[in-house]
């Protein structure tokens, strides 16, 4: 549905903005530039969403209300600074950041045969990504403004999960607890993109890019802290941990996916 809505809109926007190139001066052959972009990315989150889906399936039979959705896309911010070395080639360094958050909740009510258990389980999942990418770009002389390129560099990923349980039973047993997990990892990242810069003046252009970012974290390490109380008393535990799924297998956090970006390109000290 989103593709059917976005594609005609993008085509129309390209057609309207193409008029800028017809009335503006051409892009400079050399010079420094800065590109700022606001975009939206659709990471795959394969293992993470598989785990969320499994949790939802496990909670469904004992829940009266269940809001336990998989992770989707999120806003991405990026800034690139570089130098255009010739009419066809430029080299930049891009810094990007993306954060996605999802809140889950479940109201529990079921009969064990000896007691009635009720309460609430809430969970917050927050993956985020910071990238530093070397960005070589090729300009197409026959189509001023059109360009394509690749990216290679490093990504630092974080994964934070907080779960709060407040569950009790008619036999007097209960648990009120919070589990906080924080993990991170640095790994190689890269991507491919195509785009168009709609020149509005010799020094300013409106920029649109679409691309695919590759950034996967397969062995995140960090800390896990649990604290709370039961009918037996209070407890607290904290220590190093690895991000794993419910079967205790390492869980990959994948930010790989499509992204669309719009922004402004500013040129400085340009020569023609």
pLDDT digits (tens, 9 = 90+) for 76-88: 999 999 999 998 9
Confidence of residue 269 (pLDDT cuts 50, 70, 90): confident
CA separation for the pair 82, 10 (Å, rounded): 27
Q: What is the mean pLDDT of residues 202-213?
A: 96
pLDDT digits (tens, 9 = 90+) for 86-128: 989 999 999 999 999 999 999 999 999 999 999 999 999 999 9
Q: Provide the CATH number for the domain around residue 91.
A: 2.40.160.20
Cβ atoms of 131 and 189 closer than 8 Å: yes
Q: Percentage of the chain with pLDDT > 90?
A: 84
| Domain residue limits at 216 | 2-271
| Longest pairwise C-alpha distance within the chain | 84
Cβ atoms of 204 and 261 closer than 8 Å: no
Q: What is the mean pLDDT of the chain?
A: 90
List the alpha helices (DSSP H) in 133-238: none
The number of helix segments (H) and strand segments (E) in the chain equals 2, 13
Q: How many CB atoms lie within 10 A of CB 218?
A: 13
Tally of domains in the chain: 1
pLDDT of 266 higher than 60: yes
């Amino acid at each position: 549905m989103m593709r059917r809505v976005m594609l005609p809109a993008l085509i129309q926007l390209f057609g309207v903005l193409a008029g800028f190139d017809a009335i503006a001066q051409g892009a400079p052959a050399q010079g420094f530039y800065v590109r700022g972009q606001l975009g939206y990315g659709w990471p795959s989150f394969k293992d993470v969403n598989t785990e969320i889906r499994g949790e939802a399936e496990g909670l469904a039979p004992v829940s009266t209300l269940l809001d336990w959705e998989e992770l989707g896309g999120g806003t991405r911010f990026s800034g690139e600074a570089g130098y255009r070395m010739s009419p066809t080639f430029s080299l930049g360094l891009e810094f990007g950041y993306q954060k996605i958050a999802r809140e889950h909740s479940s109201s529990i009510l079921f009969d064990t045969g000896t007691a009635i258990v009720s309460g609430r389980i809430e969970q917050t999942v927050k993956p985020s990504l910071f990238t530093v990418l070397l960005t070589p770009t090729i300009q197409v002389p026959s189509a001023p403004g059109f360009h394509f390129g690749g990216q290679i560099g490093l990504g630092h990923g974080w994964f934070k999960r907080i779960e709060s349980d407040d569950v009790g039973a008619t036999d007097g047993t209960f648990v009120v607890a919070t589990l906080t997990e924080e993990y991170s990892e640095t790994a190689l990242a890269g991507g491919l993109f195509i785009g168009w810069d709609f020149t509005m003046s010799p020094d300013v252009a409106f920029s649109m890019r679409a691309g695919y970012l590759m950034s996967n974290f397969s062995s995140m390490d960090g800390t896990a802290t649990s604290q709370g109380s039961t009918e037996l008393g209070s407890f607290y535990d904290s220590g190093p941990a690895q991000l794993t799924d419910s079967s205790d297998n390492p869980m990959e956090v994948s930010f790989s996916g499509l992204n669309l970006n719009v922004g402004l390109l500013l040129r400085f000290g340009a020569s023609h």
